[in-house]
Amino acid sequence: MSMRVRLLPGAGLVIRTGPLLAVCADGGAQTDALVALVREIAAEAGDAAGSVLIARLAGRLGSDGPDCAVAALGENPAVLVRGGAVAVADARQGTVELRGPILQFRTIDGPLSTLRLSLPGSGMPDPRTSLEAGVVSGAGLEAQLEQPVEPARPEAPASRAMVPARRPDRAVPFEAVILLPGYAPDPGPAPEPPQPATQALVEGVLCRDDHFNDPDQRYCQICGISMAQLTQVSRLGPRPPLGVLLLDDGSTLRLDTDYVVGRDPDVDDDVAAQRANPMRITGPASGVSRRHVRVRLEGWHVAVVDLNSANGTLLHRPGAARPEQLTPGVPAVITPGTRIDLGPRWFRYESHRNT
């Protein structure tokens, strides 16, 4: 199953290398850097799925820079866009359209039947053209599977979710419990409350509207009110969540307790004892250790500790020019916007606090 690639005329560059297809607006040195990055990722692709290649690219591209759209073909195709570029893919689940302006990427339930990557102002696809490999001028591309797959069923509602549920091996025996009246099992005792095992107490102050805050903050972190005129009497109280962890697949986890991050975090003693929640990295995870890194809440601050992972952990602090390698066992306090890399995968700390 090969893709035939036609060009859309206009200003910009079109790249085809290995499993990657890309278009990028003219932007001088930043365009050159993107072409080099796309080539590098394609050269090191091995037999990695498209979704992994796009995740690697997304991890190294900033939100700023010339408009671009990139697609990775193969087992799990994926697309990425930034700025004014648009990606439209037809696959089993119907048509998927991705637009900027911020950096976005999605996995698609493949295979793709058609794919269109375009920059603003691109023309109609030129049927006489065909790009096998290389870098040429153009404002977009249209790729078509030589042997088209069955089109999406028209009655299916367009789905916005892009990651398909994993297909089970239907040869494996299944277990099932009938829930109908008369068949349903006794639900048993009420499930344990989903509370963090220990709710830590921290010292804090109340704003005028009774929001509990870090005494070092000058403005309330909930309502933004100034805390300057208040009499600062600190007291102990339950620590509010310090923000969220956002994993590269879009999952959001509440930071109200420590997390152990890895391929198999349940092997951690503190997870077993419910002193920390597991954050399991599913899907492509080569280079991620079973227990890789711990996110630790220390008072009002968030720190990360590398748990002697095999391949190490990198921190990208907001505004820092270069990533920083964690020393195993030594906690590093992080601020919102920090990205933590574990091999090919990453997560970010996001919060309205600690800014």
Partner 1 sequence: MQGIADYEFIRPLGSGNHGYFFLARRPRRLPLDVEFVAVKVLHAESSDVAFRRATRELAAFAAVRCPHLVTPIDAGQQDGVFFYSMEYLPAGSLADPAEPYTTVQGLRALAAAARAAAALHAAGIAHRDIKPGNVLLHPDGGRLSDLGLSHVFTAGMTVTGMGALDAIEYVDPALLLGGTPGPAGDVWSLGVVLHRVTSGTGVYGDLPESDGLLALRRVLSTTPRVSDSLPGPVADLVRQCLGPAHQRPDAATLADRIAGIQP
Q: Which part of the chain contacts partner 1 (CB under 8 A), choosing from 29-37, 52-60, 276-284, 313-321?
A: 276-284
Nearer to partner 1, 51 or 113 (CB): 51
Q: Which stretch binds partner 1 (CB under 8 A): 36-44, 64-72, 113-121, 275-283?
A: 275-283
Nearest to 152 by CA among 219, 197, 95: 95
Taking CB under 8 A as the criterion, the residue among 123, 148, 151, 250 binding partner 1 is 250
β-strands 134-137, 140-145 pairing: unpaired
Q: How many residues bind partner 1 (CB under 8 A)?
A: 67
Establish if 209 lies at the interface with partner 1 (CB under 8 A). no
Nearer to partner 1, 134 or 157 (CB): 157
Question: How far is Cα 86 from Cα 323, in angstroms, rounded to an integer?
Answer: 30
Applying CB under 8 A, which of residues 151, 226, 254, 330 lies at the interface with partner 1? 254
Please give the distance of CA 144 from its chain centroid, rounded to a whole number.
28
Residue 20: CB partners within 8 Å, gap ≥ 6? 38, 41, 42, 45, 53, 70, 71, 72, 73
Q: From the list 134, 155, 229, 231, which residue makes contact with partner 1 (rule: CB under 8 A)? A: 155
What's the closest the beta carbon of residue 226 comes to partner 1, in angstroms?
Answer: 17
Among 183, 218, 319, 322, binds partner 1 (CB under 8 A): 183
Assigned token pair, 81: 């866009």
Q: Are 274 and 307 in contact (CB under 8 A)?
A: no
29 makes contact with partner 1 (CB under 8 A): no
Under DSSP, is residue 185 helix (H, G, I), strand (E, B) or coil? Answer: coil
The interface region with partner 1, picked from 110-118, 130-138, 156-164, 306-314 by CB under 8 A, is: 156-164
For 49-58, b where at least 16 C-beta lie within 10 A, e where not — what string? bbbbbbbbbb
Distance CA 325, CA 339 (A): 12
User: 141 near 6, Cβ under 8 Å?
Assistant: yes
Interface with partner 1 (CB under 8 A), residue from 139, 244, 304, 307:
244
DSSP state of 219: B
- Residue from 186, 231, 233, 322 touching partner 1 (CB under 8 A): that is 186
- Residue from 128, 170, 218, 322 in contact with partner 1 (CB under 8 A): 170
Please choose, out of 12-20, 129-137, 157-165, 320-328, the segment that lies near partner 1 by the rule CB under 8 A: 157-165
Measure the CA angle with vertex 102, ends 281 and 332; round to 5°: 45
Q: Map residue 57 onto helix, strand or coil.
A: helix
Please write down the HEC assignment for all residues of 77-129: CEEEEECCCEEEEEECCEEEEEECCCCEEEECCCCCCEEEEECCCCCCCECCC
249 touches partner 1 by CB under 8 A:
yes
- Judged by CB, which is closer to partner 1: 130, or 195? 195
CB of 325 to partner 1, least distance (A): 26
| Interatomic CA distance for residues 57 and 40, integer angstroms | 10
The interface region with partner 1, picked from 23-31, 69-77, 119-127, 239-247 by CB under 8 A, is: 239-247
Contact 79, 116 (CB under 8 A): no
Name the site residues for partner 1 (rule: CB under 8 A): 93, 98-99, 102, 104, 106-107, 153, 155-157, 159-170, 172-181, 183-188, 190-191, 193-196, 222, 240-241, 244, 246-247, 249-254, 256-257, 259, 277-280, 282, 350, 352
